[in-house]
Structures are given as structure tokens and as C-alpha cells.
Amino acid sequence: MKINEATAYVKPHLTKERFDHTLRVAEEAVALARLYHVDEKKAELAALFHDYAKYRPLKEMERIIRVSQLPKDLLNYHHELWHGPVGALLIEYEYGITDKEIQSAIHSHTTGKAHMTKLDLIIFLADYIEPCRSFPGLEEVREAAKSDLYYASYLVSRNTIHYLSSKNRLIYPDAFYAYNDLVKYATQ
């Protein structure tokens, strides 16, 4: 799929603010892909579609989770986690995007998972560090992203789990699996 087609497909499904965020994530993903020798087109496509399902009706996303092969335990966690896994399926059903690497990166961009590929890490990281984000700890992650994809992703995982636990929020198991897998980069 051509990038301009993907952009046109995504735009009507997002608010203006979320579409602008998506374009920034795509730009960041391409830069990271170039830096870490990952297919730039795959990174850009995954980034463009990473929030594709974000504004789908909750009932529609719930139905997709129930009737698909997606883990049913997603329904026990905050609906903000649903759009990645659902979006990964929708891009196949609606646009014929069957690339498993792209689907995986979209699926896991909010929680991460154990044994992420470089593309998974790039989308996970790009979504977190895009230029208009601003919150405590972000500059450390941005700095780390310039030299170590794995350590920077560890920081994202650590910060996310810390934030969610400080708010007494449920944490999806994949987030812990990602953290446990990435913690070996913490000592660098």
C-alpha cells in the first residue's frame, strides 16, 4: 500500500488532533527505522495505522474481540487497550494488509509484549516520544532513543507501569511481559 493511500484511509477515522499525532508518530517511526536499520515503509505504515481503531464504537470493538482470535481477557481491562489489537485486525479485513510485522507493531503499541521485534519497539517508542508529547521522564527516553532502541523501550515500559500503578489502574499482563523482557537493558 502506498503511504498517501494509507494516510487518506486513516484520516477520516481520527480527530484532527489524533491525526496530527499520527503524522508525528509516523515521522518519528521513519527516523527511528532509519537509525536502527528497519524497513522505513513498514514503520511508516504501522505508525499511520497504529491508532486506526481508536475511535471505533466500544460495542464494535468488544464484538470484534469476542468473535476473533484476540485474547478475550482484553475485555477485563480498560478499553483504551482495545484499539491496537482491533486495529491490527481491521487493517487486514478492510485494506488487505496482511503483513504480520506491521500487524504485530500495531497490536502491541500500547502495552508492548515479550520478545518485541525492532519494528514493534519502534512503534511502541515513536508513539511515546513524538514531539508534541510532554510529561515527566520523557526527555530521558528521547535521549536514549538516539542511541539504544532497547534501553529506550525499557524506559517506556518502566514509566508506563509506574504511571498506571501510581493511579491504581489495572495493568495488562503484556505490559509486565514487555517490562520483564526489556529489564535486561536497564543496566546500560
The crossing angle, in degrees rounded to 10, of helices 16-35 and 118-129 is 130
Q: Kindly state the DSSP code that residue 98 receives in the 8-state scheme.
A: -
> Does the pTM exceed 0.85?
yes
Tell me which residues of the chain have a pLDDT lower than 70.
188
Digit-coded pLDDT (tens) for 5-27? 999 999 999 999 999 999 999 99
pLDDT for res 140: 96
Distance CA 141, CA 2 (A): 31
How far is CA 50 from its chain centroid?
6
Q: Which of 39, 9, 43 is nearest to 27 (CA)?
A: 43
Q: How many domains does the chain have?
A: 1
Contact of 160 with 54, CB cutoff 8 Å: no
Helix (H) / strand (E) element for 171: namely: none
Distance CA 137, CA 64 (A): 35
* The three three-digit cell numbers of residue 118, written as one number: 525492532
> What CATH number is attached to the domain comprising 134?
1.10.3210.10
pLDDT for res 188: 57
Distance CA 54, CA 127 (A): 13
By residue range, what is the domain housing residue 129? 3-185
Q: In b/e form, how buried is each residue of 147-184, taking b as 16+ CB within 10 angstroms?
A: eebbbbbbbbbbbbbeeeeeeeeebbebbbbbbebbee
Contact of 178 with 141, CB cutoff 8 Å: no
